């Protein structure tokens, strides 16, 4: 059943205008990035919580516009189902079969890997459709989401066409507290829509995930450094509250604004949560040879090039006994040198699998059998794979950068991201049968306290209630 139009009764709950622009723009993607997961988690929280009413909005042109509630109610479960792999068991089976063939073992039987991924706890819907190319939604849901058959063209402009101003004016007349919430960086480089909200007296909360394009333009697309500067300038000019995903991000944001001469809004640090992680009910059988997992989009800052060259060294040392590496994640940008290694380096062709994007259900099985998750990133805003792996009871060897120390709670093993011999020793030690080093890492994981979405939202909700007016 679709929710009614937002209530403007002054006796009602605060009304949150939640920006769904990124989720709508990425609806056809078979797997999410970390920021995609954050926007989805917030959307689900706002739909389910009794503490707030929500009106979904999106940036279209130079204005923030209303998204029809029926559209939002269809889009959110759509992407939940696709990204978790619930709506296309065949995608999970295909991914696991490919990894199993690479490892030389049998894949779990069909159905065994369900409800294993980090998103598996997301609420199911009575009519959860599949994404284009991943199965067929019901006719009613397809029409609700895509009435004109333009899903892959410009869904934001199609779905966000209703003016927001009448709702804001009605809320103001009724004395209804409201606030705008944006958690994705999407469209922040265009200040005008956000200035309009500010000028209308709508308080704004914005999440900042990282300063990477500004601080490390060599890892971003050409022009993204200036684009991100405009985003941060928009935040400084219009936001009343900034939510930082880590203390490291908050510090970098403050330093950037101090250098740029911008106003620093009130800033709170709220570590991103993860849904409850179930113990893996399915594993590769028989036990596979030692392998490691690297989970991230393939892009320069993730340091795939370093790790693949390291695998060349390991192959020279160990020959056919070289441990395997499963690379999980879609290809990003400006990674020609990495692709050359993946496709042409003999050591990579023999011992490394580019698995692409896996469903959460398939990924859970892959992680369950890994000797460790490797995260050699040169720079991160948060490092969600570190948190998810530790929560799943899988040891992590990560780059020695501030945010990994922060979110890993001192329990991930940290190695300088350019220390080839150090990484080689760690991989060899973790791969060894009965490895004392790995056993000690597993024992440390008992002390890990996973950040949860309920704790995150309790903290953020209190701030939103103070902000709304």
Q: Tell me, yes or no, whether 165 and 298 share the same domain.
A: no
Q: Is residue 27 part of a domain?
A: yes
> How large is the average pLDDT for residues 229-251?
98
Place of tokens 């400006």: 334
- Which pLDDT band holds residue 278 (cuts at 50, 70, 90)? low
Q: Tell me, yes or no, whether 129 and 248 share the same domain.
A: yes
Q: Strand, coil or helix: what is 43? A: helix
Q: Is residue 349 part of a domain?
A: yes
- Which pLDDT band holds residue 460 (cuts at 50, 70, 90)? very high
Q: Which residues contact 456 (CB under 8 A, 6 or more apart)?
A: 270, 271, 272, 273
Q: Is residue 99 part of a domain?
A: no
Query: Which tens digit of pLDDT belongs to each residue from 112-153?
Result: 434 433 333 332 323 323 333 333 344 444 555 555 444 444
* pLDDT number for residue 138: 47
In this structure, are residues 429 and 438 in contact, taking their beta carbons and an 8 Å threshold? Answer: yes
> How large is the average pLDDT for residues 180-197?
96
Range of the domain at 416: 291-447
* pLDDT number for residue 334: 85
- Which pLDDT band holds residue 283 (cuts at 50, 70, 90)? confident
Q: Which residues contact 347 (CB under 8 A, 6 or more apart)?
A: 311, 312, 314, 315, 316, 322
Tell me the sheet residues that pair with 163: 65
Q: Is residue 278 part of a domain?
A: no
Q: How many independent structural domains does the chain possess?
A: 2
Q: Tell me, yes or no, whether 415 and 463 share the same domain.
A: no
Q: Tell me, yes or no, whether 231 and 327 share the same domain.
A: no
Tell me the sheet residues that pair with 292: 325
Q: Tell me, yes or no, whether 441 and 460 share the same domain.
A: no
Query: Which tens digit of pLDDT belongs to each residue from 25-83?
Result: 877 676 778 899 999 999 999 999 999 999 999 998 888 999 888 777 778 888 887 77
What is the DSSP track for 285-317? Answer: BSPPPSEEEEES-B-GGGTHHHHHHHHHHHHHH
Q: Which residues contact 206 (CB under 8 A, 6 or more apart)?
A: 181, 182, 183, 188, 235, 238, 239, 241, 242, 243
Q: Tell me, yes or no, whether 141 and 268 share the same domain.
A: yes
Q: Tell me, yes or no, whether 460 and 426 share the same domain.
A: no
Q: Tell me, yes or no, whether 216 and 340 share the same domain.
A: no
The vertex-55 CA angle with 460 and 45, nearest 5°, equals: 40
Domain of residue 332, CATH code: 3.40.50.2000
> How large is the average pLDDT for residues 377-387?
95
Q: Is residue 30 part of a domain?
A: yes
- Which pLDDT band holds residue 458 (cuts at 50, 70, 90)? very high
Q: Tell me, yes or no, whether 252 and 268 share the same domain.
A: yes
Q: Tell me, yes or no, whether 249 and 326 share the same domain.
A: no
Q: Is residue 282 part of a domain?
A: no
Q: Rounded distance, CA 444 to CA 118, Å?
A: 21
Which pairs from 212-218 meet CB under 8 Å and 24+ separation?
A: 212/301, 212/379, 212/380, 212/381, 214/256, 215/252, 215/256, 215/379, 216/301, 216/378, 216/379, 218/300
Q: Is residue 98 part of a domain?
A: no
Q: Is residue 399 part of a domain?
A: yes
Higher pLDDT, 145 or 107: 107
What torsion, rounded to 10 degrees, do the Cα atoms 187, 193, 198, 202 define?
-80
Q: Tell me, yes or no, whether 190 and 151 share the same domain.
A: yes
Question: Of how many residues is the chain composed?
Answer: 469
Q: Tell me, yes or no, whether 461 and 340 share the same domain.
A: no
Q: Rounded distance, CA 382 to CA 34, Å?
A: 9
Whole-number mean pLDDT of the chain?
Answer: 86
Helix (H), strand (E) counts: the chain = 20, 14
Domain of residue 61, CATH code: 3.40.50
Q: Which of 137, 122, 191 is nearest to 27 (CA)?
A: 137
């Amino acid at each position: 059943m679709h929710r009614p139009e937002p209530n403007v009764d002054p006796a009602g709950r605060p009304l949150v205008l939640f920006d769904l622009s990124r989720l709508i723009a990425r609806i056809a993607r078979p797997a999410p990035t970390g920021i995609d997961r954050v926007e989805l988690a917030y959307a689900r929280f706002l739909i389910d919580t009794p503490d707030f009413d929500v009106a979904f909005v999106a940036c279209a042109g130079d204005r923030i516009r209303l998204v029809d509630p029926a559209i939002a109610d269809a889009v959110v479960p759509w992407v939940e189902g696709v990204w978790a792999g619930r709506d296309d068991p065949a995608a999970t089976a295909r991914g696991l079969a490919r990894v199993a063939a690479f490892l030389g073992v049998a894949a779990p039987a069909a159905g065994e890997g369900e409800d294993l991924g980090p998103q598996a706890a997301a609420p199911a819907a009575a009519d959860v459709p599949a994404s284009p190319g991943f199965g067929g939604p019901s006719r009613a849901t397809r029409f609700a989401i895509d009435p004109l058959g333009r899903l892959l063209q410009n869904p934001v402009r199609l779905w966000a066409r209703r003016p927001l101003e009448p709702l804001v004016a009605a809320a103001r007349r009724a004395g209804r507290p409201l606030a705008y919430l944006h958690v994705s960086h999407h469209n922040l480089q265009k200040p005008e829509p956000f200035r309009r909200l500010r000028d209308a007296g709508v308080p704004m909360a914005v999440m900042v995930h990282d300063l990477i394009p500004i601080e490390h333009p060599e890892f971003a697309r050409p022009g993204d450094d200036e684009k991100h500067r405009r985003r941060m300038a928009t935040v400084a000019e219009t936001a009343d509250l900034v939510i930082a995903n880590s203390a490291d991000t908050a510090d970098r944001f403050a330093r950037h604004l101090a250098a740029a001469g911008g106003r620093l809004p009130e800033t709170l640090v709220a570590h991103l949560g993860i849904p409850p992680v179930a113990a893996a009910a399915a594993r590769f059988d028989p036990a596979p040879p030692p392998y490691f997992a690297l989970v991230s989009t393939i892009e320069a800052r993730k340091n795939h090039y370093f790790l693949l060259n390291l695998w060349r060294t390991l192959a020279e040392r160990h020959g056919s006994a070289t441990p395997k590496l499963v690379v999980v994640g879609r290809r990003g940008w400006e990674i020609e040198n990495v692709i050359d290694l993946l496709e042409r380096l003999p050591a990579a062709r023999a011992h490394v699998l580019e698995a692409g994007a896996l469903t959460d259900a398939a990924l859970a099985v892959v992680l369950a059998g890994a000797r460790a998750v490797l995260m050699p990133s040169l720079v991160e805003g948060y490092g969600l794979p570190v948190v998810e792996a530790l929560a799943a009871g899988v040891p992590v060897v990560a780059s020695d950068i501030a945010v990994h120390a922060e979110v890993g709670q001192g329990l991930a093993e940290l190695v300088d991201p350019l220390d080839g011999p150090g990484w080689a020793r760690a991989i060899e030690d973790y791969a060894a049968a009965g490895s004392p080093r790995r056993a000690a890492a597993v024992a440390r994981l008992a002390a890990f306290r996973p950040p949860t979405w309920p704790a995150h939202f309790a903290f953020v909700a209190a701030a939103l209630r103070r902000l709304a007016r």
